[in-house]
Amino acid sequence: MLDKKVTELLNEQINKELYSAYLYLDMANFYIDHDLDGFGNWYTVQAQEERDHAMLFVKYLQNNSLPVTLEAIAKPDKTFTALIDPLKAGLEHEQYVTGLIHTIYEAAYAVKDFRTMQFLDWFVKEQGEEETNATAMVKKFELFGDDPKSLYLLNQELAGRVYSAPSLVL
């Protein structure tokens, strides 16, 4: 049986991951509306990843015979005007999610819930990768975004991203 507070945080994280998927779909739509389908593809893949992250939390709770509580998913509240805005918002959001994962980890650590800590180890590593990718996206755009030819090439690069399901075994 998992600690009540840890269980609550895990359930809340499901909602946060699903919100992340909504946010990234919103970003994808912004770029597609601006004829940057490669950027749109990047964020569509991000949305798929976040949905699967939510499902990993669902499965973890189910595997531990705990109830899954689904709450309403908030509408993304970001407004984007400049092409770099979603990239900066994406980095900010990944840093926020890292903090959420750390909060759950800290709660699990406090009650010596080693099983949950082990489960969260994958997410800690994943968030490091997410922040690195988001930072690289901002830096690339800052370097190349004002030049139409470079922006075209960056868009083409991002169009090549394909979805790969997480390999976490529960």
The predicted-structure confidence for 62-112, as pLDDT tens digits, reads as follows 999 999 999 999 999 999 999 999 999 999 999 999 999 999 999 999 999
Phi, psi values for residue 143, rounded to 5°: -75, -40
The CATH number of the domain where 114 resides is what? 1.20.1260.10
pLDDT per position as a tens digit, 138-166: 999 999 988 999 999 999 999 998 888 77
Count of structural domains within the chain: 1
Report yes or no: 127 and 101 within 8 Å, Cβ to Cβ: yes
Q: Is residue 41 part of a domain?
A: yes
Q: Is residue 166 part of a domain?
A: no
In this prediction, residue 1 carries a pLDDT of 77
pLDDT(58) > 80: yes
> What's the domain range around 116?
4-72+79-159
Distances (CA, A) of 22 to 18, 34, 49, 99, 134: 6, 19, 11, 19, 17
Q: Is residue 9 part of a domain?
A: yes
In this prediction, residue 169 carries a pLDDT of 57
Q: Is residue 168 part of a domain?
A: no
Q: Is residue 42 part of a domain?
A: yes
Q: Is residue 57 part of a domain?
A: yes
Q: Is residue 164 part of a domain?
A: no
Q: Is residue 50 part of a domain?
A: yes
Tell me how far apart the alpha carbons of residues 22 and 78 are, in angstroms, rounded to a whole number: 11
Whose tokens are 């970003």? That residue is 27
Q: How confident is the model at residue 18 (pLDDT cuts 50, 70, 90)?
A: very high
